[in-house]
Amino acid sequence: MGNRRQTIGIIGAGQLARMLIEAATPLDIEIALLAASPTDGAARIWPDVAIGSPDDAETVAAFARACDVVTFDHELVPEPVLSRLETDGIDLAPSADTMRIAQNKQRQREIFAAAGLPQPVHRISRSVEDAAAAAREIGYPVILKAAQGGYDGRGVWRIADAASLGEVAAELAGRDIAMIVEECVRLDHELAILIARDRRGGSAFYPLVETVQTEGICRQINLDRDIDHVLSTAAARIAIEIAEQVGLVGILAVELFDSGGRLLINEIATRPHNSGHYSIEAMATSQFEQHLRAIADLPLGTTERCADTAVTVNILGGSDGVDPRDRLATALAIPGVRVHLYGKEARPGRKLGHVTTLGDSIEECANRAWTAVEGLTNEPKPEGIR
Amino acid sequence: MGNRRQTIGIIGAGQLARMLIEAATPLDIEIALLAASPTDGAARIWPDVAIGSPDDAETVAAFARACDVVTFDHELVPEPVLSRLETDGIDLAPSADTMRIAQNKQRQREIFAAAGLPQPVHRISRSVEDAAAAAREIGYPVILKAAQGGYDGRGVWRIADAASLGEVAAELAGRDIAMIVEECVRLDHELAILIARDRRGGSAFYPLVETVQTEGICRQINLDRDIDHVLSTAAARIAIEIAEQVGLVGILAVELFDSGGRLLINEIATRPHNSGHYSIEAMATSQFEQHLRAIADLPLGTTERCADTAVTVNILGGSDGVDPRDRLATALAIPGVRVHLYGKEARPGRKLGHVTTLGDSIEECANRAWTAVEGLTNEPKPEGIR
């Protein structure tokens, strides 16, 4: 197992690649990076960077040939790239098939249904008429999702009535994108769980966390001391089953709805995930190190907690263009605030980084984290977040 | 305070520079590195590297002009380099004067004596006759130290009798190096404490730790739950006094002898120090982040513990040339072992990295750490270490 030096290639150079590099450095694991631009967040902190379009099959294939294993910064990898890497016999982790599932919410829904996993009532539709019939059957309001291409709330709509449905559905149908029409579940909490799976089918899972969203964008993640053991066990079972169903090698995040104490799968990501950033400080093995261990055929690390509770708050660019790099002192003056900046230029609404606080209570951790984020961005905590 | 983006220049690119970079990356602090070679440990993981001799005043001056603050990977910076940087008005942290003290054990002894700080009985000598007289007065065996140029046990000799003294003293006197002749104190433990001091004179200190040496080289560092509060308070007072006496900006390590419950200063280092590597995992703010905060005029971080006990064991290259990078899986299979490799080629006796374990008892932590290090180097734990 893994007692051989390997070069791990990362396609894409955003914040996930950046934090993978931060985890690789202490272990002296060799990383090769394919970045679209030298100013990408990960490219700015790493010497071994190839510049080229991660969407171009030739570019990616040439890059991958020099690597022992290739992984991804994001799941939006075009099919021609995936199939070219597969043809070339590149060791992809996660595999091309796993990536295809991660890219396609329709396939996810089908696989989860076949495995008997709990998810919202839904129908796959390809036409406006189909979608309208599905929505009538399920009952308004419904959630409409594009099967492919969405992230951070994009590609997901809450639809109140038939007129609104027609508009969105027509656009998607016109672009030949399949739709998922889903019940609008009563939402008590949004939750997430991480699982890592190695090349032998061994796995390690992380605690269930709460994610707090505004306008479809994750703003805060809570790792609570008090976990509902029933929910927690159910989530772990779901995560293990999904990891096997998608043939996972690496780390996977499952986003879940808690609807009246019933867990329903929202969606998955087969890579390190925003909901797991707390693990850098709060767990014995971060999601980034765990992903590297899994794909490099190294033993998975333990997933013990280093703190009773932890809160992560995302740093979104403020409306007045303040750059958090110029306000670091405000955040670092608050005790125990761990700041992670992603090396991006500040733009309103852009995810520029996150902060994590550890402590004894969610409320106290969240207070410190939000005070830091307000200082970094000059932007108040949004209403609707406790 | 520090609400302005700055470029921090680091002169030298060994493991301390490497771990400073690891601490700078999440904060997106800009680092410029001056490395003697592109294969230096820190140069291998950072894109912004100037290659040139850190001993050449012109090279260093040109490098420093592009930085807002300049700090050091090691204290062996030649006087012409220090004075050139001073003349050019470069913002050095620590300052040139602090560096001059760190380089010179004679000056340290004189400053500590003037401040009434506890240290071994000693005499400064410049000739063989002087040294012999001092040794007779103090009583054999004595410790003989070169005032300048030593590290990791080099430049320090335990001298049993007048004949041996003559040999070493003649060589040093011949090279015009001042000598310190010291009593050979009864040594119950060797201890170390870190302190950081900011540009306003504010400071933050770390817990007292035990360092375990073989042949003058630090092998193991113990952060124990149970600290002797009398010793601990005495060490903190010594550290605060030294930080002020040397005009510290940044982090400083004080190495201490515990001689029958009495603390005596061995020596100091005005930079991150091997005895503080445990702080990466075991403290809320690592010594590396703390050094960056202090020199970049950012608020000092809290120095709470993240664990009851922690043990760090250094990875020294084994006699059969095994490369720890090829044996990573053996160490990562042991629960909770945090591996830090420095990106160096394996050579017998060379410091290639360290591992840290956190837990409830020193014994248990040490067992796991040594098992990992034995696996990484194929070298048994040395005799004489419990």
pLDDT in tens, A110-142: 999 999 999 999 999 999 999 999 999 999 999
Within this chain, do residues A237 and A131 fall inside the same structural domain, yes or no? no
Closest CA to B148 of B119, B110, B177, B128: B177
Query: How far does CA B271 lie from the centroid of its chain?
Result: 6
* Subunit contact B302:A336, Cβ cutoff 8 A: yes
* pLDDT tier, A1 (very low <50, low <70, confident <90, very high otherwise): low
Give the CATH number for residue A36.
3.40.50.20
Average pLDDT for residues A147-159, to the nearest whole number? 79
Choose from A25, A31, A340 for mutation: most chain B CBs within 10 A.
Answer: A25
Whole-number Å distance between alpha carbons of B272 and B281: 15
Chain B residue closest in CA terms to A38: B47
With CB atoms and an 8 Å threshold, state whether A329 touches B3: yes
Query: Which residues of chain A make contact with B329, given a CB cutoff of 8 A?
Result: 1-3, 297-299
**Shared-domain flag, residues A150 and A78:** no
Contact B338 A26 (CB under 8 A): yes
B129 and B37 in a single domain? The answer is: no
Predicted local confidence at residue B321, as pLDDT: 87
pLDDT of residue B55: 93
Q: Is residue B220 part of a domain?
A: yes
Note whether residue B105 is domain-resident: no
Q: What is the pLDDT of residues A301-314, one digit of tens each?
A: 999 999 999 999 99
Query: Which residues in chain B are contacts of A341 at CB distance < 8 A?
Result: 26-28
Number of domains in chain B: 3
The answer as to whether A32 is a domain residue is yes
ipTM over 0.90: yes
Q: Do B299 and A45 touch (CB under 8 A)?
A: no
The reply to whether A131 falls in a domain is yes
- Residues facing A193 on adjacent strands: A254
Domain of B254 in residue numbering reads as 189-377
Pair (B310, B250) in one structural domain: yes
**Residue A326 and residue B3: Cβ atoms within 8 Å?**
yes
CA distance B251 to B194: 7
Q: Rounded to a whole number, what is the distance in Å from the CA of B126 to chain A's nearest CA? A: 44
Dihedral angle at the C-alpha atoms of A358, A362, A368, A371, nearest 10 degrees? 140
Q: Same structural domain for residues A347 and A218?
A: yes
Mean pLDDT, chain A, as a whole number? 95
My answer on whether B233 and B175 are in the same domain is: no
pLDDT range class, residue A153, cuts 50, 70, 90: low
| Claim to verify: residue B290 and residue B329 sit in the same structural domain | yes
Q: Are residues B158 and B265 in the same domain?
A: no
Q: CATH number for the domain including A237?
A: 3.30.470.20
Tell me if A330 and B3 make a contact (CB, 8 A cut-off).
yes
Domain end residue (candidates: A183, A217, A233):
A183
Among A3, A21, A22, select the one facing B326 at the smallest CB separation.
A3
Q: Which of B104, B116, B112 is nearest to B145 (CA)?
A: B104
User: Mean per-residue pLDDT for A165-169?
Assistant: 91
Is the pLDDT at A152 greater than 60? The verdict is no
Among partner residues A45, A49, A323, which is closest to B25 by beta-carbon distance?
A45
* pLDDT at position A40: 97
> pLDDT value at position B149?
77
| B113, part of any domain | no
Same domain, A58 and A138: no
Extract the residue ranges of chain B whose pLDDT is less than 50: none
Query: End of a domain among A133, A167, A183?
Result: A183
Contacts of A342 in chain B (CB under 8 A): 28
Same domain, A161 and A226: no
Which H/E stretch holds residue A66? none
pLDDT at B1: 56
Least confident of A149-158, A212-221, B90-99: A149-158
**Last residue in a domain, options A92, A110, A130:** A92
pLDDT band at A150 (very low <50, low <70, confident <90, very high): low
B330 interaction partners in chain A (CB closer than 8 Å): 3
Q: What's the full length of chain B, in residues?
A: 386
Q: How high is the pLDDT of residue B148?
A: 86
- Mark whether A169 and A197 lie in a shared domain: no
Q: Of A144-148, A209-213, B98-102, B366-370, which range is least confident? A: A144-148
**Interchain CB distance below 8 Å, A3 and B325:** no
pLDDT band at A216 (very low <50, low <70, confident <90, very high): confident
- Asked if residue A366 is part of any domain, the answer here is yes
pLDDT score of B147: 92
Q: How many CB atoms lie within 10 A of CB A195?
A: 27
User: Residue A150 is part of a domain; what is its CATH number?
Assistant: 3.30.1490.20
Tell me if A99 is assigned to some domain.
Answer: no
Considering only CB atoms, B45 lies closest to which of A5, A25, A328, namely A25
CB B265 within 8 A of CB B252: no
What is the token pair recorded at B339? Answer: 């591996």
Q: DSSP label at B305?
A: B
Work out the minimum CA distance from B38 to partner chain A, whole angstroms. 11
Within-domain flag for A108? no
Same domain for B143 and B29: no
